[in-house]
Amino acid sequence: MKSGILYGMCWEDPDLFTALVKPNDEVLTVCSAGDIAMSTLTKNPSRVVAVDTNSDQIELTKTKAWAFQHLNYHDCHRFIGTFGPSPNRVTWLEPHYSSMSLELKSWIVSNHLDQKSILQSGRFETYLRFFARFLLPLAVSKKTIHSFLNAQSLEEQLEIYNHRIDNMRYRFLFRQFFGRLQRIGRHPDLLKHVKADLAGVFYQRIKHAWLDVSIENNYFFRFILTGLMQQNLTLPLWAQIGNFESIKKSAGTLEFVNNSIVDFLENTKDSFDAINLSNISEVMTVEDSNRLFELCRTHLKPNGHLLVWNNMVDRKPNKNWKLDESRTLQFWENRTGSLYGFLGVYQPA
């Protein structure tokens, strides 16, 4: 299925799922924007399968994998747009196209990824950037955002948030934008089981980004506020220079499946050491999500782990699974992303 690019970047901390992967493991993950699949390569797994119903997410990830394989660190991230949009992309990319399949090149050109940042290319990123570029400045001055980006401690972040950010206008704009336009920034399937007050929930959740995580380490929030990551500050695993060679070496071994993970699991006898479901159980009915969890259980190797995220809808594994409480708590407390309401690390009971 082709649905357009929904995500240019994965918004779940890639290091959390990667922490569940050991050398020689066989890994299965929802593909999304590919960052999590790519990050697991730093652990030298024997196999990584990335599954997605949306063919555009698969092509986007193949594009990132191509960049890792064929470009040096600097050009790879120039192409992906990690450290900001690069000028003259079309010109400097042209000589590299000879190492790319015609099919992938034509997908890149038809989606204008030869002209714009890949990380910014999804509907979700476009929507977040719109808020940060055009609406946030109506409530919070650029000088304040600059001060926040340069805050040296959580106390300073709290001071700036309480006195210069969380004003009436900010709350009003937040409510208007996240209440109505949340539905534009995400695929409608992701919200079909949602009944909650989206704006109210996200207003509380985003406080985690303003107040709980040091802005120096919060590459997700810096990316929302500035549209880029900074090479001299904390980066996700896939963007760290020290991981470049291991990802480059294995990027060509990533296996892609353009199908529902349910269909994939129903039709394979393969089993896995680690499975990442992202939050796809949320778009399912309780019965369908239980069917998916059962398929994961029967395809996990002994001592294997399942990672599940929930954003707005409660769809967790229950019977036949046990929650790894200490790892779940540790992951939750160390997470950088602020958009989710729950994550759980599970093992078969």
Ligand X SMILES: C[S@@+](CC[C@H](N)C(=O)[O-])C[C@H]1O[C@@H](n2cnc3c(N)ncnc32)[C@H](O)[C@@H]1O
Least spacing, CB of residue 263 vs ligand X, in Å: 8
The two structure tokens encoding residue 219: 């590459």
Shortest Cβ 209–ligand X spacing (Å): 15
Find tokens 């407390």 and name the residue: 333
Binding of ligand X by 126 (CB under 6 A): no
E strands of the chain, at which residues?
26-30, 47-51, 255-257, 272-276, 300-310, 321-323, 342-348
Rounded CA-CA distance 120/62 in Å is: 16
Tell me the closest approach of the beta carbon of residue 146 to ligand X, in angstroms. Answer: 27
Over the Cα atoms of the chain, what is R_g? 20
CA proximity to 30, closest of 349, 338, 309, 345: 309
β-pairing, 300-310 with 342-348? antiparallel
Nearer to ligand X, 150 or 298 (CB): 298
Least distance in angstroms from the C-beta of 259 to ligand X? 7
Minimum distance from residue 265 beta carbon to ligand X (Å):
10
Q: Are 68 and 96 a contacting pair, CB within 8 Å?
A: no
Q: In the stretch 55-94, what mask flags binding to ligand X with x, by CB under 6 A? A: --x-------------------------------------
Q: Give me the residue label for tokens 């006195």.
A: 163
For 163, which DSSP code?
I
Answer yes or no whether residue 27 interacts with ligand X by CB under 6 A.
Answer: no
- 53-81 b/e with 16+ CB inside 10 Å = b? bbebbbbbbbbbbbbbbbbebeebbbbbb
- The residue within the footprint of ligand X, chosen from 5, 8, 12, 66 (CB under 6 A), is 12
Q: Does 117 contact ligand X by CB under 6 A?
A: no
In our burial notation (b when 16+ CB lie closer than 10 A, e otherwise), range 181-195 reads bbeebbbeebbebbe
**Nearer of residues 262 and 312 to ligand X, judged by Cβ:** 262
What is the contact mask toward ligand X in residues 218 to 257, using x (rule: CB under 6 A)? ----------------------------------------
CB-hemisphere CA count at 13 Å for 313? 18
Q: Which of 6, 65, 76, 308 binds ligand X (CB under 6 A)?
A: 6
Q: Of residues 252-291, which lie at the interface with ligand X (CB under 6 A)?
A: 260-262, 278-280, 283
Is residue 53 involved in binding ligand X (CB under 6 A)? Answer: yes
Q: Under the criterion CB under 6 A, does residue 296 sit at the interface with ligand X? A: no
Choosing from 13, 25, 26, 52, the residue that interacts with ligand X (CB under 6 A) is 52
**Contacts with ligand X, residue ranges (CB under 6 A):** 6-7, 10-12, 30, 32-33, 51-54, 57, 260-262, 278-280, 283
